């Protein structure tokens, strides 16, 4: 079970003494919507909170293929069920509709929808990078099966695909408790299917999918090269769509670019609506950090949020990771979060990144990209074919470096900071309306930060 899995992990990295003092005294209950970790006293609880809870959280993510909130409580009685090596709350945790028998090996039966209630629309921060995807998701959530079908969401890692589609699932369930919803990661679908074939319960497997009102299938790129799985999914997909049931798919690429996936599936994936999640822009990253801190009842001032957001650009998951690190560091040193403290807490991380991105690097990369001379970046000429790349470079400098607007202006041939503001506004605006420019931007960010 899950706790055994955790013990195995900790056994590998802790001494016997540490293990006996901090980990073995814990009892763990896996409930339908959270994992409850019980510590025998305040002291152990604090210690575990400071050093191990993040790892338990990570382990839960891997084990259940989604994240569960981890609740740490103080409880004298070591859960009786724990002694038997099985989490207690299993039977009660499974809702009535999902009365599937527990799987062999004492595995936990989770809510059949497998949705994490923490992924909802309320805490999904909006911004340019996800505006369209979010709007489409909201529509589908309020009209499952009756609009865009399938909804295909794609984007790089950590950009919110899983969060967004689970938000749809949670919303559909909130609107109608009786809807049969299922979230599944493509890898899990594959392994469930293999197991069903092996245990001759394939018909049950099929039936379970054919009876859904909403199927959320995550990271479909994992179907690559798995022909039998693709074939099976093809029938399930068709049957659901034909009977007006909603299908939502995520992937790391645009449907047509999926490798190792049958053509007929790829073309069906594009039947409905395809939306992209993009890397969040600076303001959105700040909003996400402030939001997250609020959720954790942590005080985070805007200056520190901006500092962290400026440093961590690649995706939301890393952003959250950085915030966690800063929070842990602050707690450990019993100091409030500040820019200075964040700088210290993220030192190792930043050392790697900052070496790469200098203003010269940005100017050179952008100039190469648009096939102009680097010197044109500082030149006074205002011809349009030079102005746009220059604006792009200024905007990237604002997003990717620590430089202030006057400093950026200075680096571009002594321009005024209002010119930089204007450039940034222009690019922001074009990113919303000009698909080519948006692609250029994303590509440049990738090249510069990759």
Contact residues: Mg ion, CB under 5 A = 161-162
Give the separation between CA 87 and CA 80, rounded to whole angstroms.
Answer: 9
Smallest separation (angstroms) from ligand ADP to the CB of 309: 13
**396 with 424: CB under 8 angstroms?**
no
Instruction: Work out whether 188 is an interface residue with ligand ADP (CB under 6 A).
Output: no
Pick between residue 130 and residue 391 the one whose CB is nearest to ligand ADP: 130
**339 with 304: CB under 8 angstroms?**
yes
Instruction: Work out whether 157 is an interface residue with ligand ADP (CB under 6 A).
Output: yes
Instruction: Work out whether 124 is an interface residue with ligand ADP (CB under 6 A).
Output: yes
Binding mask 270-309 for ligand ADP (x = CB under 6 A): ------------------x---------------------
Query: Six-digit token pair at 224?
Result: 């690559």
**Footprint of ligand ADP on residues 314-373 (CB under 6 A)?**
316-317, 320
Instruction: Work out whether 216 is an interface residue with ligand ADP (CB under 6 A).
Output: no
Instruction: Work out whether 389 is an interface residue with ligand ADP (CB under 6 A).
Output: no
Q: Which does 157 bind (CB under 5 to 8 A by kind): Mg ion, ligand ADP, none?
A: ligand ADP
Instruction: Work out whether 130 is an interface residue with ligand ADP (CB under 6 A).
Output: yes
The 27-30 sheet, strands edge to edge: 27-30, 35-39, 70-74
Give the separation between CA 428 and CA 235, rounded to whole angstroms.
Answer: 43
Q: Please check if 84 is assigned to a binding site.
A: no
Pick between residue 257 and residue 368 the one whose CB is nearest to ligand ADP: 257
Smallest separation (angstroms) from ligand ADP to the CB of 128: 11
**238 with 208: CB under 8 angstroms?**
no
**154 with 161: CB under 8 angstroms?**
yes
Please identify, among the stretches 119-127, 188-196, 253-261, 355-363, the one whose residues bind ligand ADP according to the rule CB under 6 A.
119-127
Give the separation between CA 215 and CA 237, rounded to whole angstroms.
Answer: 9
Angle among Cα 258, 233, 146 to the nearest 5 degrees reads 90
β-pair type (181-185, 214-218): parallel
Q: Which does 431 bind (CB under 5 to 8 A by kind): ligand ADP, Mg ion, none?
A: none
Size of the site for ligand ADP (CB under 6 A): 16
Q: Which of 38, 86, 114, 161 binds ligand ADP (CB under 6 A)?
A: 161
Pick between residue 301 and residue 320 the one whose CB is nearest to ligand ADP: 320
Instruction: Work out whether 135 is an interface residue with ligand ADP (CB under 6 A).
Output: no
Instruction: Work out whether 258 is an interface residue with ligand ADP (CB under 6 A).
Output: no
Instruction: Work out whether 158 is an interface residue with ligand ADP (CB under 6 A).
Output: yes
Give the separation between CA 104 and CA 102, rounded to whole angstroms.
Answer: 7
Q: Which of 86, 114, 163, 285 binds ligand ADP (CB under 6 A)?
A: 163
Pick between residue 316 and residue 366 the one whose CB is nearest to ligand ADP: 316
Smallest separation (angstroms) from ligand ADP to the CB of 315: 7
Q: Please check if 160 is assigned to a binding site.
A: yes
CA separation, residue 363 to residues 93, 287, 353, 414, 417 (Å)? 57, 28, 17, 14, 17
Instruction: Work out whether 411 is an interface residue with ligand ADP (CB under 6 A).
Output: no
Instruction: Work out whether 396 is an interface residue with ligand ADP (CB under 6 A).
Output: no
Give the separation between CA 217 and CA 185, rounded to whole angstroms.
Answer: 6
Residue nearest to Mg ion according to CB distances in the complex? 162
Pick between residue 151 and residue 408 the one whose CB is nearest to ligand ADP: 151
Q: Please check if 162 is assigned to a binding site.
A: yes
Pick between residue 129 and residue 400 the one whose CB is nearest to Mg ion: 129
Smallest separation (angstroms) from ligand ADP to the CB of 30: 20
Residue 92: φ, ψ to 5°:
-70, -30
Q: Which of 36, 159, 220, 430 binds ligand ADP (CB under 6 A)?
A: 159
Pick between residue 130 and residue 401 the one whose CB is nearest to ligand ADP: 130
Binding site for ligand ADP (CB under 6 A): 123-125, 130, 155, 157-163, 288, 316-317, 320
Q: Could you tell me which residues are annotated as the binding site?
A: 158, 160-162
């Amino acid at each position: 079970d899950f706790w055994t899995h955790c013990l195995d992990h900790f056994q590998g990295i802790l001494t016997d003494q540490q293990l006996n003092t901090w980990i073995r005294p814990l009892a763990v209950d896996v409930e339908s919507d959270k994992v409850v970790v019980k510590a025998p006293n305040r002291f152990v609880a604090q210690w575990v909170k400071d050093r191990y809870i993040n790892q338990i959280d990570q382990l839960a993510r891997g084990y259940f293929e989604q994240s569960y909130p981890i609740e740490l409580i103080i409880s004298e009685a070591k859960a009786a069920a724990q002694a038997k090596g099985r989490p207690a709350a299993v039977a009660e945790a499974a809702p009535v509709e999902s009365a599937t028998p527990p799987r062999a090996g004492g595995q936990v039966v989770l809510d059949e929808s497998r949705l994490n209630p923490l992924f909802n629309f309320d805490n999904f921060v909006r911004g340019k990078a996800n505006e369209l995807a979010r709007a489409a998701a909201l529509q589908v959530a309020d009209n499952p099966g009756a609009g865009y079908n399938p909804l295909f969401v794609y984007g790089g890692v950590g950009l919110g695909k899983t969060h967004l589609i689970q938000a749809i699932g949670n919303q559909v369930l909130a609107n109608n408790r009786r809807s049969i919803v299922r979230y599944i990661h493509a890898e899990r679908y594959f392994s469930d299917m293999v197991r069903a074939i092996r245990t001759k319960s394939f018909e049950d497997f099929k039936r379970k999918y054919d009876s859904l009102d909403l199927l959320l299938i995550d990271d479909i790129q994992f179907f690559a090269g798995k022909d039998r799985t693709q074939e099976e999914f093809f029938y399930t997909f068709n049957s659901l769509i034909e009977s007006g049931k909603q299908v939502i798919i995520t992937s790391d690429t645009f449907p047509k670019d999926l490798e190792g996936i049958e053509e007929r599936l790829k073309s069906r994936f594009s039947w409905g609506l395809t939306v992209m999640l993009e890397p969040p822009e600076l303001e959105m990253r700040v909003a996400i950090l402030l939001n997250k801190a609020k959720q954790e009842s942590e005080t985070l001032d805007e200056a520190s949020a901006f500092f962290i957001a400026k440093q961590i650009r690649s995706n939301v998951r890393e952003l959250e990771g950085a915030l966690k690190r800063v929070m842990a560091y602050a707690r450990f040193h019993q100091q409030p979060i500040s820019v200075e403290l964040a700088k210290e807490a993220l030192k190792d991380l930043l050392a790697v990144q900052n070496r790469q991105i200098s203003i010269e690097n940005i100017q050179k990369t952008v100039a190469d990209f648009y096939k102009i001379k680097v010197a044109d970046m500082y030149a006074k000429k205002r011809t349009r074919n030079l102005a746009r790349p220059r604006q792009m470079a200024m905007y990237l400098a604002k997003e990717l470096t620590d430089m202030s607007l006057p400093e950026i202006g200075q680096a571009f041939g002594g321009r005024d900071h209002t010119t930089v503001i204007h450039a940034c506004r222009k690019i922001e605006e074009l990113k919303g309306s000009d698909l080519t420019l948006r692609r250029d931007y994303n590509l440049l960010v990738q090249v510069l930060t990759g």
